[in-house]
Structure 1
Amino acid sequence: MKILVTGAAGFIGYSLCKNLLDENIESLVGIDNLNSYYDPILKEKRLDMLNKFSKNNFKFYKIDLDNFKELEDIFSKEMPDLIVHLAAQAGVRYSLENPWAYEYSNNIGTLNIFEIAKKYNIKKIVFASSSSVYGGNQKIPFSERDNVGKPVSIYAATKKYNELLAHVYHHLYDMEMVGLRFFTVYGEFGRPDMAYWKFTKKILNGEQIDIYNFGDMNRDFTYISDIVEGIKNAINTPNLGYNIFNLGGDNPVNLEYMINLIEKELGINAIKNYMPIQPGDVPVTMADLEKSKKMINYRPKVSIEEGIQKFVNWYLENKQWLKDI
C-alpha cells in the first residue's frame, strides 16, 4: 500500500510517518508547506528524521494545499492508494487573529484533497478533525452523537466544515471517509504554542506562566503514541463508510495537576499568573470513547504522568536547540 500523508512535517503527521517507516511501510509520500506559524526549525528537524529513511520508502514534497495544479501533479505521479489528511492551520486563538489562514489551509485545502481523491479514484481518506467542534457543549463526556452546530472559534468552524464536506463526498462518490476528533495531543516533537510546552520552557527559564480561567481548566490530554495507534487502526479497519471517532486520553486532567507534574520533573516551582478564560477557549474537554473502542479498537495506554515525564525528559535532552523555539 502507498499512503500519502498531508502535514507530514507537523507534529501528528511526522509522528505517524515515523511510525509507519519504522514498521517498513512499502511506500509513503509526505506533503507539507513548512509554514512559519511556529518556528520552522522544528518542522525541518522532523523532516530531517524522516529523510533518513530510504528514498524508496519515503518521498517528500513541499507544497501549499490550496495550489490545486501542483497537488494534482503530485497525485498523478505518485498514485497513492490511501490518504491521511492531517494538514491544517492549527490553533484556536490564532484563528481569531488570522481567519484567512484557516480558510485557505483548512477549507480550500481540504476541498482540493477531496476533489483530487475523487479524480484519481482514491476510495479511502482518514482525516483530522478536532475536539474543538464540540464548542461550548455542556454535556460531559463529549460524544460523536452530540450536536456540534455551535462552534465557538473559527478553527472549530473549519473542522466542522471538513466533516460536513467529507459526508458529501462519501454520499455522492461512495468514498470511505473517516474523521478523527483529536483531544489535546501532546508529546515529544510537539507544538511549541501549546500550554505544556510553554509551561516547561518558562518554568525552566524562571519566567512567569499564564494560567487561564484561573486554573479551572480540564483537558483530555492524549499522548502522541496513542493518537498514532488510533490513526493506524482507522487506516486498517475496513468498511467504515462515513464515520467520526473521538481519540482522547480517557482521563481528563486539571491544568494545575499537569503543571505540578512539570514542576516535579524539572525540580522547579512555577511563577504563576492567573487570568480569565480566553476567547474561543472552553473550560472542559472529555472524550466519550465507547464508539472508538468498539469500532476501531482504540485504547489509549499512556497516562498523563508517564507522558509528561517523557516530554520533559526529551525537552531537557534537546534544550540546546529547543531553547530559542
Structure 2
Amino acid sequence: MENEKSKISSFCGKTVLITGAAGFIGSNVARKLLNLEQEICVVGLDSMNDYYDVNLKNERLDYLLADRRFIFVKGSIADREMVDNVFAQYRPQVVINLAAQAGVRYSITNPDAYIETNIVGFYNILEAVRRSNENAANAVEHLVFASSSSIYGANAKVPYSTDDKADEPVSLYAATKRSNELMAHAYSKLYDIPATGLRFFTVYGPAGRPDMAYFSFTEKLLKGEKIKVFNHGNCQRDFTYIDDIVEGVVRVAAKAPEQKKGDDGLPVPPYRLYNIGNGQPENLINFINILSEELIRAGVLPENFDIKAHQELVPMQPGDVPVTYADTIPLERDFSFRPGTPLRTGLRKFAEWYAGYRK
C-alpha cells in the first residue's frame, strides 16, 4: 500500500505529456493517470493518422476529452515547431513518448513513415526535452519512451533480457526502435536527462489495434475468410494484456533513474531499459483456439464454428521472428510488479468488448 501511495503522489500537481494519446496504449495510460491522481494535467498529442480506423481513435479520445484535466493537441511529433510549442506552452514534468509508426510488415512497404515518425519525430522529442532542461523551472524530470520486443530480432537465447546484444534487427521497424534506445542513451549521457525505455511484448486487449493478429483474425473469421498462420503455426508470442502494460508504464514513469556523477565528474547516464511482457510465450495455434472459444462464448461466432477449417498454414513472413519471450526480473525487482494476466482472461475481455463494438 505504501508503494501505491508513493507512486500516486509523484504525479500530484504535475503536467504529463503523452504522445500517441489516441493510440491503444497511449489512451489507456492517459485514462489510468487521470484515475490515479486528482491534481494532474494530462496533455495528449496525436496525429490521428489513418494507419487504422480513425473512428476507433476518436472513440478513445472522446472518453478522455470528457475530463477537464485532459488537453488534446492534434499534430505529428515529426513537426518540430509544433512539438516545441507544446513544450513551451505546457512545460511538462513527465514525458511519455508512445507515438510511433507501428507494424513490422507495414515497414517493408512504407519505410518513409517509420523514418519520419520513429526517427525524426523521436529526435524532436529529445531536443525539446534537452532545451526544456536548460531552464530548471521547465525541466523534464523523466522521459519514458516505447521500444519493442522486435529489437531482439531472431535472438535464439530465451527469455529475452535487456542485457542481451540487440544489434541484428530483422525489420526496419525494429531498427528504428533500437535507434530510439541508442539516441535516448546518448542524450541521457550528454545532457543528464533521466530516460527509461520500455520494450513492449505483443500488446492486446479491448479496443486495440485492428492490425494486430487477435483483432484481424476476428474480423476475417466473421467474414468466413481463412486466417494465415505463419511459420506453419510454429510461432510463440509473449502476449501481454493492455492493463499490465499500462500498470508497468505508470509505475516506471513515477520513478526516474537517479542522476549522479561518475569518478570523472561527468554524469553517469540516468538511463534504464525494461521488458514489459507476460513472461509466458503461447503457441500460435493454442492462441487461435482460445480466441475462437472466447468469440463463440461471447456470441461473436456461432456455436458450431469450425476453427480448423478456417486456418491456412503458411511460411514465415519477412520481418517476423519465431518466438518472443520476456525476462521481466528487473521490472519486478525495481517496481514490485510483474505482468500476469492469463491469455484466456485477456481474450475473454476482448471478445466481450468486440461483441458490443460490432453492434
- Report what 1:205 is aligned to: 223
Deviations 1:131-185 (A, max 9, x none): 0000010101100000001000000000000000000111000000100000000
SS of residue matched to 1:129:
strand
Deviations 1:170-214 (A, max 9, x none): 100000010000000000110000101111222233221111111
Map of 1:238-249 to 2, 5 A cutoff? 238-240=256-258, 241-249=270-278
* Letter in structure 1 aligned against 2:106: Y
SS of residue matched to 1:115:
helix
Q: How far, CA to CA, are the matches of 1:135 and 1:158 in structure 2?
A: 12
Root mean square deviation, CA, Å: 1.0
**TM-score of the pair, normalised by structure 2:** 0.87
> Mind listing any 5+ residue stretches in structure 1 that lack a counterpart?
321-325
- Report what 2:292 is aligned to: 263
- 1:11 aligned to 9, 19, 24, which one? 24
* Letter in structure 1 aligned against 2:216: K
- 1:157 aligned to 153, 175, 180, which one? 175
SS of residue matched to 1:60:
strand
Residues 144, 253 of structure 2: 8 Å contact kept = yes
* Letter in structure 2 aligned against 1:314: W
Residues 142, 256 of structure 2: 8 Å contact kept = no
1:64, distance to aligned residue in structure 2 (A): 1.0
Q: How far, CA to CA, are the matches of 2:83 and 2:195 in structure 1?
A: 20
Residues 233, 297 of structure 1: 8 Å contact kept = no
Q: How far, CA to CA, are the matches of 2:306 and 2:30 in structure 1?
A: 36
SS of residue matched to 2:311:
strand
- 2:280 aligned to 251, 256, 270, which one? 251
SS of residue matched to 2:155:
coil
2:114 paired with 1:102: yes
Q: How far, CA to CA, are the matches of 2:56 and 2:93 in structure 1?
A: 29
- 2:322 aligned to 283, 286, 289, which one? 283
1:41, distance to aligned residue in structure 2 (A): 1.0
Residues 115, 176 of structure 2: 8 Å contact kept = yes
Q: How far, CA to CA, are the matches of 1:81 and 1:265 in structure 2?
A: 42
* Letter in structure 2 aligned against 1:298: F
**TM-score of the pair, normalised by structure 1:** 0.96
Residues 196, 257 of structure 2: 8 Å contact kept = no
* Letter in structure 1 aligned against 2:119: N
2:148 paired with 1:119: no
Residues 42, 189 of structure 1: 8 Å contact kept = yes
2:207 paired with 1:189: yes
Q: How far, CA to CA, are the matches of 1:60 and 1:180 in structure 2?
A: 24
Deviations 1:20-75 (A, max 9, x none): 11224411000000011111111111111111112xx1100001111111111111
- Report what 1:43 is aligned to: 57
Map of 1:57-96 to 2, 5 A cutoff? 57-96=69-108
Q: Which structure has the bigger radius of gyration?
A: 2
Residues 16, 228 of structure 1: 8 Å contact kept = yes
- Report what 2:336 is aligned to: 297
Residues 30, 58 of structure 1: 8 Å contact kept = yes
Q: How far, CA to CA, are the matches of 1:279 and 1:239 in structure 2?
A: 37
SS of residue matched to 2:67:
coil
- 1:221 aligned to 216, 228, 239, which one? 239
Q: How far, CA to CA, are the matches of 1:28 and 1:187 in structure 2?
A: 23
- Report what 1:323 is aligned to: none
- The number of residue pairs the alignment matches comes to 318
Residues 15, 43 of structure 2: 8 Å contact kept = yes
Q: How far, CA to CA, are the matches of 1:93 and 1:304 in structure 2?
A: 24
The percent identity for this pair of structures is 45
* Letter in structure 2 aligned against 1:19: K
Residues 102, 158 of structure 1: 8 Å contact kept = yes
- 1:273 aligned to 282, 291, 312, which one? 312
